[in-house]
Amino acid sequence: MINANIILKPGIIKSAAAMAIALSVSAASLTMSAAATTTAASAAANIPRYPEARGIVDLTLATMNARIAVDNEDYKVSQKRVDIYQRRLASAMHDKYLAENKDPPQPVFSAQRVAYEKQLYIDWRNAELEHERYLNELSDKLDRIKSSLKKQYTDILDLERALKTYDDEMEKLNANIEQLTAQINVGVAKPSDMDVYTAQKMKLEADIAARQRDIELAKYNLKADLKIDQYKEIRLGEYNEQFIRFNDVRIERLVSDAVDGSFAVNSNDKKLQILKDERAIMLQWDREGAMLYNLQNNEVSIKETEYALINARKTEESGLWSDYYSLLNQEDQIEIERMNVQIAENDYNIVVARLNQGLVTPLDEQNARLALENAKTTHQTAINNYMRMSGDFQLRLAK
């Protein structure tokens, strides 16, 4: 015969006192979660719109992140889902409270007694696990949105810096064209000397137009994400990422700890324990076999969750190592772009020296300078991508 105190044995619920503590902690957690949701919603509603003057909206990464809960529809849908499961958890806790304050059903060993025991020990834990799952989903979504916004923001800044370089070069080219025109007018230069400058100007105009289109498209997408009217202009605050290498001295330990602490692993572990406790309840309180079908389904669920737990560990570990090696590859890319800047600088210095000797034209010097500025922009973009990837990876390690 199964011991009547099986529910209070270690591995299920260690003691009545432990159960009381567990329930009080869960209730407190639920209360804090509800308060946090209410506070977050209230705070989001009070977040001011982006600063704007004369149809120009000023943006910073901080103000963009602050308004995610207000502007991002995908995030708001996930928040509503959290609220739904928060209410379900509250209902399950209420049912558990009612069960605690009434006598167990009769007969003692029956399907009704199983349902009663599940209200006390199982249902609220399942509801809590579901609530935690959607809270974790909301947190992950927030991190992904922030990362996406940061990439859009830094990409636009890089494009604008590149455009400014081309605009500056166009201004210099126009000055050279004016000077050459004056020389042609007084017979010092031939009209055919203008051909190479005209070709250079057409090339620069095409490059400028291409970058302007890239900026307009990037801004269009960003304004759409931020719910800013498309007819308004946006102005991004200056932002420069400095390269800080990720400290991977203890990477094996960091990955191992992250796997152990991951939500996927812990949630499957909790689910497995809940299923085992549910099985123990059915075995203890159903002596007539009325729950046989449920018991068989429970056994299948236990096996499935055991496999899911194993797979969760493998998936988390594989994903973390994949992110780490992607970060190393991006670090190599930074070094490649740094070397390209060095090469472009050497090439530019050579062209300047030859220009001083009259061996090349000012247009050659301009092309070399543009190549150098483009190399610097590409290098900075590589740094931006690395720092964003590093931040995302460190967030994942910390969860």
**What's the CATH number where 392 sits?**
1.20.1600.10
Domain total of the chain = 1
**What's the pLDDT score for residue 43?**
53
Task: Establish if 219 belongs to a structural domain.
Answer: no
Average pLDDT over residues 171-187: 93
285: amino acid identity, one letter: W
**What's the pLDDT score for residue 283?**
93
pLDDT band at 42 (very low <50, low <70, confident <90, very high): low
Q: What is the mean pLDDT of the chain?
A: 89
**What's the pLDDT score for residue 50?**
85
Average pLDDT over residues 221-249: 93
pLDDT single digits (tens) 329-377: 999 999 999 999 999 999 999 999 999 999 998 999 999 999 999 999 9
**What's the pLDDT score for residue 45?**
55
Task: Establish if 299 belongs to a structural domain.
Answer: yes
**What's the pLDDT score for residue 18?**
38
For the stretch 102-109, contacts whose Cβ atoms lie closer than 8 Å and that sit 24 or more positions apart, written own/partner, are: 108/285, 109/285, 109/286, 109/287, 109/288
**What's the pLDDT score for residue 233?**
95
**What's the pLDDT score for residue 22?**
44
Full domain range(s) for residue 394: 240-399
**What's the pLDDT score for residue 46?**
65
**What's the pLDDT score for residue 55?**
86
Average pLDDT over residues 39-57: 71
pLDDT single digits (tens) 295-326: 999 999 999 999 999 999 999 999 999 999 99
pLDDT single digits (tens) 7-19: 333 333 333 443 4
Task: Establish if 265 belongs to a structural domain.
Answer: yes
Average pLDDT over residues 196-216: 95
Least confident of 12-21, 154-163, 241-250: 12-21
Task: Establish if 149 belongs to a structural domain.
Answer: no
pLDDT single digits (tens) 109-139: 888 999 999 999 999 999 999 999 999 999 9
Task: Establish if 17 belongs to a structural domain.
Answer: no
Task: Establish if 293 belongs to a structural domain.
Answer: yes
Residue 23 has pLDDT above 90, yes or no: no
**What's the pLDDT score for residue 7?**
38
Task: Establish if 355 belongs to a structural domain.
Answer: yes
**What's the pLDDT score for residue 221?**
96
Average pLDDT over residues 75-79: 95
Helix 251-261 × helix 292-356 angle, to 10°: 140
**What's the pLDDT score for residue 107?**
84
Task: Establish if 373 belongs to a structural domain.
Answer: yes
pLDDT single digits (tens) 86-96: 999 999 999 99
pLDDT single digits (tens) 251-296: 999 999 999 999 999 999 999 999 999 999 999 998 878 888 999 9
